[in-house]
Structure formats: structure tokens, C-alpha cells
């Protein structure tokens, strides 16, 4: 009977970033502005790469895919958050919650693999410049991008399948601003031991593998750069890699902290702040970081502006 009653749960309440009414409108306006800039910035970067034939090379295919994923992450989380700022009850239905988590997990996992692929691309370009066109062909680039999305799809379906076995009867209040998997475990009345094991094995393995690819790639890049005698070549290499390294550190820092530290009620608010980094802040910063530090992108923008003047 208890299990039958638990399945009747049809919606959750997202506690959100604040319960103070006086903060809801200012936060709504702030995150609305951030979301508009995020979508416009990332879609503009995708359009620029699509339109300029000079940018039809692996480096920019990866960058365009990253911009698409960043837009997806923001679009999965922020619109619902904005709606909740304007409502008295921050509710989300069970089906919406499951869909939101699946799409977020798919996008976040894909981004991990894309960042690793971009690091390998920079390693090939800097450490093996003469063989780079042979190593990193457009065909291999497309395969790496497709594999990243397939890995994200598999990871999302895996966790979604194990989430669907859970019932929720302890509480319908999610202490988060979106349907985070750990927050859902905490309010489940079904034993979540297997779910935690799956998260530890698969999410942990993905993070460790992709971080290792990034670290190994950039360690080799660093050694190669330090061997160069030309200051101009060194500056160009650091300029090319600096944006990606900054983006990687921003993305993995909060992500590692959230899933490595021990669970504790005292740090739930800190988890929400960390989540803001990879759901709100990083998607809006990435197109700015990659565009301002990339001479080819800036030159491409100037050419298009001159044509339209």
C-alpha cells in the first residue's frame, strides 16, 4: 500500500535559490539577461562558424558543438527557473523533472567529452603540426563529436532508467533550482544504494577519463611549447590553449567538488552555488572566452561586418 501511494506523487517543489519574495524579481531580471546573452552569444558563434568557410576546420567544429551544448544546458535549466521566480509555488511535474534531468545529463556529459576532444585536437596541432592535417581530419572530428553525443545519450539513458525505479514519498521538496540527481536520491523512499553506485562508477569514470585526457594533452603541449625558441610561437601557442584551459578549469572545478565531497545537509546551498557555474555562468562565458582570445574569429566577425555595412 505504501508503494502504491508513493507512485501517486505527481509533482515536486523546487526550493530554488531563494524563498524571499523581495529577491525574486531582481533575480528574474538578472537570469533573464544572462540567458538572452547566452543564447545570442552561442548561436551567433555557431552561425559565424557555419557561414565562414575559413572556419570549417576541426578546431571550430568542436567549438561550434560546444556552443550548441552550452545553449542546451542553459535552455534545460534557466527557463524553468525564470518561471518559478514569478510563481508562488515553484512546482515541477514528475515527468518534467525526469525529462529535465535526462536532457541536462546528456548535455553535461557531452560537454565533458567535447572538452577532452578539444584538448586532443590542440595536442595534435601543436605537438605534431606537420602531421596535423593527416591526424585530425574532418572525418575524425565528426566521429569524435558524434561519439561525444552518443556517450552523453548513453549516460543520460542509464541514469534515467535507474531513476525510474525510484518512488518518492519521504518529501516532494527538492533542495535545488533544477532536478539534480543527488537531490532526487535524498527524497526517495526506495533504497538508492544501487543508484549511488552507478553514479560513482559511471559519472566518476567519465570525469576521471576526460580530465586525464585534458591533463596529458596539455602536459605534452607544455613540454613542446617550452622547447620552442621563438617567443612569437610560444605566445601564439599559449593564446590558442589558454582559452580552452580556462574553460576546462571553470567547468570541472565545481563539478568535481559537488560529486567528490561527502554528503552533508550543511553544504546543500554550496552545491546550488556550484551548480550555477556550469548551468548559468560557464555557458555565457564560453563564447566570450573563445571569441575574444581567437584572432581568426575576430577577423571573421570584421569581414562579415564590412560586408553588411
Q: How far apart are CA 135 and CA 176, in angstroms?
A: 44
Q: What is the dihedral of CA 204, 207, 209, 211, to 10 degrees?
A: -140
The CA-atom distances, in angstroms, between 191 and each of 7, 84, 103, 166, 184 are: 15, 30, 24, 8, 12
DSSP-assigned letters across all residues of 112-168: HHHHHHHHHHHHHHHHSTTTHHHHS-HHHHHHHHHHHHHHHHHHHHHHHHHHTT---
Query: What tens-digit pLDDT sequence spans the chain (309 residues)?
Result: 344 444 456 788 888 777 777 888 999 999 999 999 999 999 999 999 998 888 889 989 999 999 999 999 999 999 999 988 888 778 888 889 999 999 999 999 999 999 999 999 989 988 888 899 999 998 999 999 999 999 999 999 999 999 988 888 767 888 888 998 988 898 888 889 999 999 999 988 998 899 999 989 988 988 888 777 566 666 666 666 777 777 777 777 666 665 555 454 445 666 777 788 888 988 998 888 877 667 777 777 777 767 765
Domains held by the chain: number: 1
Domain of 242, CATH number, reads 1.20.1070.10
Q: Which three cell numbers stand for residue 245?
A: 584551459
Which residue in the block uniquely carries the three cell numbers 555557431?
46
**Domain ranges, residue 171:** 2-308
Amino acid at each position: 500500500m505504501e508503494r502504491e501511494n508513493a507512485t501517486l506523487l505527481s509533482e515536486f517543489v523546487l526550493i530554488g535559490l531563494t524563498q524571499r519574495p523581495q529577491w525574486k524579481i531582481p533575480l528574474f531580471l538578472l537570469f533573464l539577461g544572462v540567458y538572452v546573452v547566452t543564447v545570442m552569444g552561442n548561436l551567433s558563434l555557431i552561425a559565424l562558424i557555419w557561414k565562414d568557410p575559413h572556419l570549417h576546420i576541426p578546431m571550430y567544429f568542436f567549438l561550434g558543438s560546444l556552443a550548441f551544448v552550452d545553449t542546451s544546458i542553459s535552455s534545460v535549466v534557466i527557463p524553468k527557473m525564470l518561471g518559478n521566480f514569478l510563481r508562488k509555488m515553484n512546482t515541477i511535474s514528475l515527468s518534467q523533472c525526469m525529462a529535465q534531468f535526462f536532457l541536462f545529463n546528456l548535455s553535461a556529459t557531452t560537454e565533458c567529452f567535447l572538452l577532452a576532444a578539444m584538448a586532443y585536437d590542440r595536442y595534435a596541432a601543436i605537438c605534431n603540426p606537420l602531421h596535423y592535417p593527416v591526424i585530425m581530419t574532418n572525418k575524425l572530428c565528426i566521429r569524435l563529436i558524434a561519439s561525444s553525443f552518443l556517450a552523453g545519450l548513453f549516460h543520460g539513458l542509464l541514469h534515467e532508467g535507474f531513476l525510474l525505479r525510484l518512488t518518492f514519498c519521504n518529501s516532494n521538496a527538492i533542495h535545488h533550482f533544477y532536478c539534480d540527481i543527488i537531490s532526487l536520491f535524498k527524497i526517495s523512499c526506495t533504497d538508492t544504494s544501487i543508484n549511488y553506485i552507478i553514479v560513482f562508477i559511471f559519472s566518476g569514470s567519465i570525469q576521471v577519463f576526460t580530465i586525464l585526457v585534458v591533463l596529458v594533452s596539455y602536459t605534452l603541449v607544455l613540454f613542446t611549447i617550452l622547447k620552442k625558441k621563438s617567443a612569437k610561437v610560444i605566445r601564439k601557442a599559449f593564446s590558442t590553449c589558454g582559452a580552452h584551459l580556462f574553460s576546462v578549469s571553470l567547468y570541472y572545478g565545481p563539478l568535481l567538488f559537488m560529486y567528490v565531497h561527502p554528503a552533508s545537509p550543511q553544504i546543500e546551498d554550496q552545491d546550488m552555488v556550484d551548480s550555477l557555474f556550469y548551468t548559468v555562468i560557464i555557458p555565457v562565458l564560453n563564447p566570450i572566452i573563445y571569441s575574444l582570445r581567437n584572432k581568426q574569429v575576430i577577423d571573421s566577425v570584421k569581414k562579415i561586418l564590412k560586408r553588411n555595412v
